[in-house]
């Protein structure tokens, strides 16, 4: 195991969003949706690499320890448990049996491991999988009005339980689920109590779903408590939207998510919008799959984000957009 480097982040040049923390999502090393994609990387190695690359925290990952063992593994590397992710089963009429219990189990894992944010999304919906990226059509299967109310009720209950333990709940828009598009995010915001349900803006999934992350921050920024920064490959996105790729998982196999700076994401615009909101939460660098070694892709994402944060700290008159 590598030695932790306390204070390493303090040596970085001045950057925008100085109160924000920078974390990594370890799905890049071991993909939970496509476990056959690459050989399994041991959890200790993943944590070592996340620390070595200068990240401050991580989401939980495959094979990661839990409870006090997780706390110690992170402490030894100078890392924090930024989040635990929960995918709740849901049909068109609302959360399915066991959805609340799944969220509660992930909340317990978060709290026991000394973590910070409970990130909640819906699990894949079979009828939405094949039309991921094209879910804005009028005939797209969606939640019923009763389904929206039931989802809001569940999120409120889980949000109250998370708040009682000192954790914010952040809802994550996700492709191939019933909350993927901009209008669906807007409906979720209207249906839920801002005191109990924050937002995890995943820039990649929101872009894939046809939304503009910069616009989402401008309109819903007071609800955004957590951010996943994920870029989208232009060519793969085009083929997905044209129906030439058979669903979201096949798009992952074609590496629809790419390194920060290599796709269509307006990363600079996102940072500027977060600066305007004085954002102080986590910036999680995420990439589900890669054609490169995982550590190389993570290093690229970390370096590109750091560069854009430094550029954003300069006076507006001294900046130029690419």
Angle at 156 between CA 154 and CA 159, to 5 degrees: 110
320 domain-assigned:
no
What is the C-alpha to C-alpha distance for residues 40 and 20, in angstroms, rounded to an integer? 31
6 domain-assigned:
no
What does each of the 322 residues of the chain score in pLDDT, given as a tens digit?
544 444 444 444 589 999 999 999 999 999 999 999 989 999 999 999 999 999 999 999 999 999 999 999 999 999 999 999 999 999 999 999 999 999 999 999 999 999 999 999 999 999 999 999 999 988 999 999 999 999 999 999 999 999 999 999 999 999 999 999 999 999 999 999 999 999 999 999 999 999 999 999 999 999 999 999 999 999 999 999 999 999 999 999 999 999 999 999 999 999 999 999 999 999 999 999 999 999 999 999 999 999 999 999 987 645 555 5
Task: Give the whole-number percent of the chain exceeding pLDDT 70.
Answer: 94
Model pLDDT, residue 314: 84
b/e 113-128 (16+ beta carbons within 10 angstroms → b) = bebbbbbbbbbbbeeb
Length of the chain: 322
CATH of the domain at 266: 3.20.20.150
165 domain-assigned:
yes
Model pLDDT, residue 316: 65
Give the domain range for residue 57.
Answer: 16-313
5 domain-assigned:
no
Backbone angles phi, psi at 8, to 5 degrees: -60, -40
Model pLDDT, residue 13: 59
Model pLDDT, residue 299: 98
Coil vs helix vs strand at 46: helix
Tokens of 242: 């044209």
Number of domains, the chain: 1
2 domain-assigned:
no
105 domain-assigned:
yes
CA atoms within 13 A on the CB side of 217: 25
267 domain-assigned:
yes
């Amino acid at each position: 195991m590598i030695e932790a480097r306390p204070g390493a982040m303090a040596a970085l040049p001045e950057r925008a969003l100085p109160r924000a923390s920078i974390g990594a999502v370890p799905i890049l090393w071991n993909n939970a949706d496509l476990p056959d994609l690459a050989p399994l990387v041991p959890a200790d190695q993943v944590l070592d690499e996340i620390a070595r690359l200068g990240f401050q925290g991580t989401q939980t990952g495959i094979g990661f320890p839990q409870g006090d063992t997780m706390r110690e593994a992170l402490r030894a590397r100078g890392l924090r448990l930024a989040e635990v992710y929960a995918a709740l089963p849901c049909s068109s009429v609302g959360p399915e049996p066991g959805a609340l219990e799944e969220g509660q189990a992930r909340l317990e894992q978060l709290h026991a491991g000394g973590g910070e944010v409970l990130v909640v999304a819906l699990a894949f919906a079979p009828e939405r999988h094949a039309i991921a990226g094209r879910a804005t059509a009028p005939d797209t299967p969606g939640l019923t009005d009763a389904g929206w109310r039931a989802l809001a009720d569940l999120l409120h209950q889980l949000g109250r339980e998370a708040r009682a333990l000192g954790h914010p709940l952040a809802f994550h828009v996700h492709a191939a689920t019933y909350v993927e598009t901009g209008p669906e995010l807007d409906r979720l915001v209207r249906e839920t109590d801002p005191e109990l349900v924050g937002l995890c803006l995943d820039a990649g999934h929101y872009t894939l779903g046809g939304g503009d992350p910069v616009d989402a921050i401008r309109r819903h920024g007071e609800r955004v408590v957590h951010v996943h920064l994920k870029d989208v490959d232009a060519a793969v996105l085009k083929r997905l939207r044209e129906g030439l790729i058979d669903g979201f998982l096949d798009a992952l196999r074609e590496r629809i998510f790419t390194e920060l700076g290599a796709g269509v994401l307006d990363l600079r615009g996102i940072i500027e919008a977060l600066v305007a909101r004085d954002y102080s939460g986590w910036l999680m660098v995420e990439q589900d799959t890669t054609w490169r070694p995982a550590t190389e892709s993570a290093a690229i994402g970390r370096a590109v984000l750091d560069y854009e944060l430094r550029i954003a700290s300069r006076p507006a008159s001294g900046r130029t957009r690419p």
